[in-house]
Amino acid sequence: LGAAAAAPASSPSPVASLRTAVSAAVAALFARAFAAVRKVTLPALLALAVVLTMLPSAAEAAKSGGRVGGSSFSRPAQTQSVSPGMTTTSSSTTIIVASPSPWYASPFGFGGYYVAPIITPFGGIGFGAIGAFILFAAFAGFLIASMASSRGNDVYEEELGYVENPPVSVMTVKVGLLASARHVQRDLAEMARGANMADERGLQRVVQEVALGLMRSAEYATHASATSSVLPLDQAERAFEGAAMGERMKLGSETLSNVDGRVVEVAAKEGAIPSVNEYIVVSLIVAAAGEIEMPKTISSEEGLRQALRAIASVGSEDVQGVEVIWAPQSFDDTLTERQMLTDHPEMMKL
């Protein structure tokens, strides 16, 4: 009886068996999770390190920039040239109220006419019926000529609307140069400090100097791009200002600028340590009257020269606006290839 009573006490209860099974399952789950974490932890840490190294530091992101700009957008005076089949009338009128001479000036500008003096019964000299009729006809002719002239000018402006809103080419050439072309930075800085941006001749000179300097340094160029659009004058000014603002927004700060002849220079923030992977980007934005042919794309050094020659050929009477923006401006600042291609993805490798 004693042995029979001890046997049921040694077998586990159902609750204890369930608790043991759950504990074993949880332990196995944690073991598998720990093993999985051990497998992915090292690659994940390496990937995170790579991402962090790609992010620009505060010093690297603070790109200094230079700017030289000015504009003279204006509507050209309306000319009196007439296309074939069209006529315009220009008239000047001289009205003589009283004159002792019987000759009177014609309101149409082709000589005069003679009014016979009539002696009235009451004394003095008068025009009489014939004179009154001639004066009435003269004024009627003057009114008709004035209305015809006004209508002719309206038709002229409608058919030659570009005279009042002429076409303007807005062109942008960007060049990415190796950082070894430090002379480009130096020349641009000297130009910014002394350029005359107050008139059209000064604007043209800046365009020519920058284009010529970039052509002379074409062997340092690694990337470039060119864009051009022909717009009416009222739209071209907005497009020009928008293109310039887009380039300025890519700068951390403008450390040297000459806008409309006003020179401002501030100290540049300390940049990153220079490396061999440095670049200089120069953006030349020009608005000029007329339609100027520009290469659609730049994929070679010769294509870059063609685009720069096209911009440099703009005359002083056609220049409407000029913006030269370059980065970095400070010799202590840097621009990596990744930054350059991020800010200027349209530039193609030469």
User: In this predicted structure, what is the pLDDT of residue 86?
Assistant: 43
User: Which pLDDT band holds residue 346 (cuts at 50, 70, 90)?
Assistant: very high
100-124 residue pLDDT tens: 444 444 444 444 544 445 444 444 4
Which residues make Cβ contacts (< 8 Å) with residue 76, sequence separation at least 6?
163, 166, 289
Assess contact for 224 and 302: CB atoms under 8 A.
no
243-266 residue pLDDT tens: 999 999 999 999 999 998 899 999
User: Which pLDDT band holds residue 25 (cuts at 50, 70, 90)?
Assistant: confident
How many CB atoms within 10 Å of residue 39?
10
What is the distance between the alpha carbons of residues 16 and 19, in angstroms, rounded to a whole number? 5
What are residue 31's phi and psi, to 5 degrees?
Answer: -65, -45
Question: What are all long-range contacts of 210-216, with beta carbons under 8 Å and residues at least 24 apart?
Answer: 210/282, 210/284, 210/324, 211/284, 211/308, 211/309, 211/311, 211/312, 212/308, 212/312, 213/184, 213/187, 213/188, 214/173, 214/175, 214/184, 214/282, 214/284, 214/304, 214/308, 215/304, 215/305, 215/308, 215/309
User: In this predicted structure, what is the pLDDT of residue 132?
Assistant: 60
- Check: pTM over 0.95? Answer yes or no: no
Q: With H, G, I as helix, E, B as strand and everything else as coil, classify residue 7.
A: helix
Assess contact for 323 and 244: CB atoms under 8 A.
yes
Q: What is the CA radius of gyration of the chain?
A: 41
More confident residue, 21 or 45: 21
Of 142-156, 270-284, 315-329, the poorest mean pLDDT is in: 142-156
The region that residue 128 occupies, defined by phi over 0 for left and psi between -120 and 50 for alpha, beta otherwise, is left
Assess contact for 316 and 203: CB atoms under 8 A.
yes
Residue 278 is given by DSSP the state B
For 17, the token pair is 């068996």
More confident residue, 84 or 37: 37
User: Rounded to a whole number, what is the distance in angstroms from the first to the last CA of the chain?
Assistant: 102
Longest C-alpha distance within the chain, in Å? 176
The dihedral sign for the CA sequence 73, 78, 79, 81: positive
What whole-number percentage of the chain has pLDDT above 90? 47
Q: Strand 64-71 vs strand 253-259: parallel, antiparallel, or unpaired?
A: parallel
User: Which pLDDT band holds residue 189 (cuts at 50, 70, 90)?
Assistant: very high
Picking from 271, 223, 205, the residue whose alpha carbon sits closest to that of residue 58 is 271
Assess contact for 298 and 348: CB atoms under 8 A.
yes
Q: Strand 125-126 vs strand 118-119: parallel, antiparallel, or unpaired?
A: antiparallel
Residue 79 pLDDT greater than 90, yes or no: no
More confident residue, 40 or 296: 296
User: In this predicted structure, what is the pLDDT of residue 30?
Assistant: 66
